[in-house]
Structure 1
């Protein structure tokens, strides 16, 4: 699936993420303008690095509309939300907080991701075998630099390929 992140004009409050599936169908979602990498682009980092085959991007790649997939992950107490969807969203929560802080703190990250999963009634993803700082945080920083360098009224394309389980 191709992700096309469109940075709108300087005066827009939202940018747009267009998700083009391998079959050519597409969906899009508005991304609130932020000082750092938009949360929806953090899903690219997380779901490309971890075997979360039922995360936000994977659900969209398999036909879900972006808004519906996002709503399922954010609805408090949604027991029907797949565990991996909640896990991916929770990891994005923790990663987003670390990017906003401008530095990586593993205990804080793990605490935030665990709390976010537990608040949604799901178990946290086992991150123990992963070098989270290199696999996620540094990749998020690199993508953030790429995103910040894009001029207004331009786009960034990313090729999303889910990571296979080891």
Structure 2
């Protein structure tokens, strides 16, 4: 699936994300500006790195409207949500907190993931074999730097490797 993130005008509060599925269908959403990498683009880093097919972007690739997938993925009471979607959201939330702090703290990251999963009544994901600081945090920082270079009304195109 192709993702096209568009940065809007300097005074706008939102940018946008367009997802183009393999069959050519599309869905889009407004992305709130946060001063760091937008939440939905952190999903790209996490789900692509972990080869998740059942997370937020996996639901979109499978045909869900992006707004519906977003609502489902953020509903902590949604017991029907697949573990992978819960895990993706937990990792994204914890990674986002690390980006906000400006430095990676392995203990805080793990605790953030555990806490987000516990809130949703799920076990934390097994991240064995993943060098979180390099493969997730480092990749998110690299993508954030690329995003910062995008001029107003410019685009950043990304391709999901696994979906």
Which TM bucket (shorter chain)?
over 0.9
Query: Which residue in the other structure is 1:121 paired with?
Result: 121
1:104 is displaced (CA, Å) by 0.4
Question: Where does 1:70-81 land on structure 2 (aligned, <5 Å)?
Answer: 70-81=70-81
Offset of residue 162 of structure 1: 1.9
C-alpha offsets along residues 130-162 of structure 1, whole Å, 9 cap, x if unaligned? 110111000000000000010011110001122
Unmatched 5+ stretches in structure 1:
none
1:15-67 CA-partner distances (Å, limit 9, x unpaired) = 10000001110001111011100010001100111032200111111111111
* Separation of aligned partners in 1, 2:76 and 2:61: 24
Offset of 1:121 from its aligned partner? 1.3
The alignment covers a number of residue pairs equal to: 163
Structure 2: distance between partners of 1:144 and 1:89: 18
| 2: CA distance, partners of 1:38 / 1:77 | 24
Q: Give 1:128 shift.
A: 2.7
Residue 151 of structure 2 aligns to a residue in which SS? coil
Within the alignment, does 1:50 sit opposite 2:50 as a pair? yes
TM-align CA RMSD: 1.0
Pairing 1:84–2:84 present = yes
SS at match of 1:28: strand
CA distance in 2, matches of 1:66, 1:99: 24
Q: Distance in 2 between matches of 1:38 and 1:93?
A: 11
> Are the aligned partners of 1:58 and 1:162 in contact in 2 as well (CA < 8 Å)?
no
Task: Establish whether residue 153 from structure 1 lines up as the match of residue 153 from structure 2.
Answer: yes
Corresponding position of 2:32: 32
Structure 2: runs of 5+ lacking an equivalent: none
Distance 1:86 1:29 in 2: 20
User: Residues of 1 paired with 2:70 and 2:121: CA distance?
Assistant: 17
2:79 partner SS:
coil
Q: Secondary structure at the match of 2:155?
A: strand
SS at match of 1:100: helix
Q: For residues 31 and 88 of structure 1, what CA distance do their matches in structure 2 show?
A: 18
